[in-house]
Amino acid sequence: MIPTLRPLSGYEPPDLPERWTTPKPQTTPQLTIPPTRPTTPNLRALLTKLLEVLDGRRPIGQVKSLLANPVYEATLTRLRTKPHGVRYQLYSMHTCWPAETAVELMGRVEAVRAGGRRALAMVARMELTPDGWRCVVFRLLDGRRVI
């Protein structure tokens, strides 16, 4: 015996036309795609490279193209005036996009010295230029002074 399906009266919708019709066709887009941010370099890797320059593990020439001139000059001055007995390590990083062509970063850096460790705050700003992303602000803060 073959089972037969029968509609239940009162529960089944009436027969629908073959094609659904709408009173008025849509003239506005149904899907809005938000603007995409420009592609950014690996920000964590970039900041790690800059910290390696500050503690003497990497030559500054390797990151010169990623730094705006004031940041480059400040880094050169710091390298000439500060000893290299510190090793920096980036532990956390947070980003904020104040504009489509700018990203601000903040994070926690640990400075490891022969005498122990010290937590520092790090702030930076990257801006998109015609030549690519450039670091226009970079500071290490230890709560008492700018390093």
Does pLDDT of 58 surpass 70? yes
Averaged confidence pLDDT in the chain: 82
Task: Please write the tens of the pLDDT for every residue from 1-51.
Answer: 677 777 666 666 666 555 656 566 667 766 666 666 666 678 888 899 999
> Tokens 């850096």 appear where?
109
Which range, of 3-12, 60-69, 70-79, 135-144, averages the lowest pLDDT? 3-12
Burial (Cβ within 10 Å: 0-12, 13-18, ≥19) of residue 88? buried
* 43-141, CATH topology level: Nuclear Transport Factor 2; Chain: A, (3.10.450)
Q: In 10 A of CB 7, how many CB atoms?
A: 10
Statement: the pTM of the whole predicted model exceeds 0.85? no
**Per-residue model confidence (pLDDT) at position 18:** 59
Q: How confident is the model at residue 69 (pLDDT cuts 50, 70, 90)?
A: very high
φ and ψ of 66, to 5 deg:
-95, -5
Domain range list for the chain: 43-141
Task: Please write the tens of the pLDDT for every residue from 78-112.
Answer: 888 877 788 999 999 998 889 888 999 999 999 88
**Per-residue model confidence (pLDDT) at position 109:** 93
86, 106, 101: which is closest to 133 by C-alpha? 101
